[in-house]
Amino acid sequence: MKIALAQLNFVIGDFEGNYTKMAKAVTQAKKLQADIICFPELAVTGYPPRDFLEFKNFVQGAIDTVDKLALLADDIAIVVGAPSINPIVEGKDLYNSAYFLAEKSIKHITHKALLPTYDIFDEYRYFEPATSFSTVTYKGKKIALSICEDIWNIKNENPLYTICPLDEVADEKPDFIINISASPFSFNHAEARLKIVQENAKRYHAPLFYVNHVGAQTEIIFAGGSVVANQNGDIYEEMVFFEEQLQVFDLEDIIKSKRNKIQKKNKIELIYRALVTGLSDYFQKLGFKKAILGLSGGIDSAIVAVLASDALGADNVRCILMPSQYSSDHSINDARILAENLGCQYDIVPIESVYNGFMGELDIHFSGLPFSLAEENLQARIRGTLLMAFSNKFGNILLNTSNKSEAAVGYGTLYGDMNGGLSVIGDLYKTEVFKLAHYINREKEIIPNNTIVKPPSAELRPDQKDSDSLPDYDILDAILFEYIENQKGPQEIENLGFDPKLVARILRMVNRNEFKRYQMPPVLRVSDKAFGMGRRMPIVGRYLS
């Protein structure tokens, strides 16, 4: 028996487009003599469909698409993810289901039992969990169908759940397992996924075919990396990352094989490719073409310019240099050199006269008061206004260039440098931004070296440096990581050796600036805990205040 895995890039709600893409894959799989082709979890709708699932015509559109796909299942079987209607009055209206299509009809439906409701996941909001389980038989083989999270409670070790779905069908002794998944990318998740696939294959002594989405849905990025393991837990194949791919596997070859083929994974390279994918898909799926950003000569905007040029093409990226009386000559030159290295259009729009115009109007009100944050933020907001003017006039989408360290502690100006349609590096700490810059320059100097080595500065007052307001980034990022990603409280962080006063100060800054993050653009997610939909904090609260 031959099984095809099709990791494809779907568009949420584009039933016709998603069907066309799957139909093409079915045709290709037939030519390769596959017996079964597998598509990912909720492939028909795209993942995550969120509150679209509350519209009856949306759900019906998905079901109609499944029926249409079934007509292609003549001399091939199709496994595909889509919602199905719960016929029982009690409970949620829908199941998250895996359809098994054969002989031009729906032969079997498996429902998802373990519905993740944490971080970016909110499946219990929409779906009823499965309570009954069985295999499906096709061409003499017993197949255990499962959906994403259903393989993540092996041996009932996950405290979030009370059952292990594959245990429920283990007595039927399935010949192999199919898991259709929607597993978002984070830089350390690929290894965990391989491990869970291996453990399941070994536990049930059955080959496991795992198919994942590829591409991005706004902030959520899927890497692909679909996996096939033999009954001993050896990884027979790990498919490509960040690319659509269809591959056919011979079940007998997998059973006999002892090979263990695992891709090498470089964290920074994976992050770079994820961000390029996120940028590219955000623009393509929304019908946008051109991007604009403020290029300051600093490392953050430099990184975003490089990523945008790679994702969209340099011809579609416009950089605006907006020096003030506080901007250093080397920052302006660094920004110009980078734009020329990339081949991007760039414009220089000085803001000193605009700033002086504002200050002239404000002088009667500010007279006698010292230079302060008000004047600094005014410069950032002038730049934000100019960028939005360019955006509106020329139809370019503004890219936000703030990093995670800044966003965490509120080191940014609302309606100024926090403007944008998409936050490109908002899930990268400053220390990771520097690593990404070195990765970009690994073969030749694209980002001017001066941009990388000079002390970070917002350049909003004379001789300003980030270190005037913030701790050293190595220390700041380490504390932020423990609080945000590892969700450790102040005492736990202090126990790691950090200064208690510094810990208290940083954590207060994080909590007090939640109101700013609520107004940020969507953030491309590359970690386990990004700002946005996966981290839900109250704006008003007194924890660590």
Beta bridge partners of residue 178, listed in sequence order: 145, 209
Q: Give the closest residue to 4 by CA, choosing from 38, 42, 41.
A: 38
Amino acid at 277: T
Reading the block at residue 64, the tokens are 């109609």
Kindly report the backbone phi and psi dihedral angles of residue 221, in degrees, each rounded to the nearest multiple of 5, phi listed first: -115, 135
User: Taking Cα atoms as reference points, which of 145, 130, 138, 135 lies closest to residue 208?
Assistant: 145
- From 38, 128, 148, 516, the catalytic residue: 148
Residue 223 structure tokens:
């890497």
DSSP string, 472-516: -HHHHHHHHHHHHTS---HHHHHTTT--HHHHHHHHHHHHHTHHH
Give yes or no for a contact between 498 and 523, defined as CB atoms under 8 angstroms apart: no
What DSSP letter does each residue of 80-114 carry, written as one string?
EEEEEE--SSSS-SEEEEEEEEETTEEEEEEE---
Exposure string over 183-216, b if 16+ CB within 10 A, otherwise e? bbbbbebbeebbebbbbbbbbbebbbbbbbbbbb
Smallest CA-to-CA distance from 417 within 280, 288, 539, 296 is with 296
Task: Estimate to the nearest angstrom the gap between the alpha carbon of 81 and the chain centroid.
Answer: 20
**Within a 10 A sphere around the Cβ of 403, how many other Cβ atoms?**
27
Single-letter residue type at 263: Q
Beta bridge partners of 110: 98
41 is catalytic: yes
Question: Among this protein's residues, is 38 annotated catalytic?
Answer: no
- Confirm if 413 and 384 have CB atoms less than 8 A apart: yes
DSSP string, 352-384: HHHHHHHHHHHHHHHTTPPP-HHHHHHHHHHHH
- Tell me, yes or no, if 404 is annotated catalytic: no
Q: Rounded distance, CA 301 to CA 84, Å?
A: 45
Per annotation, catalytic residue among 38, 41, 219, 237: 41
Do residues 114 and 126 touch, judged by C-beta distance below 8 A? no
> According to DSSP H, which parts of 313-457 are helical?
329-342, 352-366, 373-394, 404-409, 430-440, 449-453
Among residues 390, 399, 423, the alpha carbon closest in space to that of 519 is found at 423
Asked if residues 282 and 218 have their Cβ atoms less than 8 Å apart, the reply is yes
Which residues are identified as catalytic? 41, 112, 148
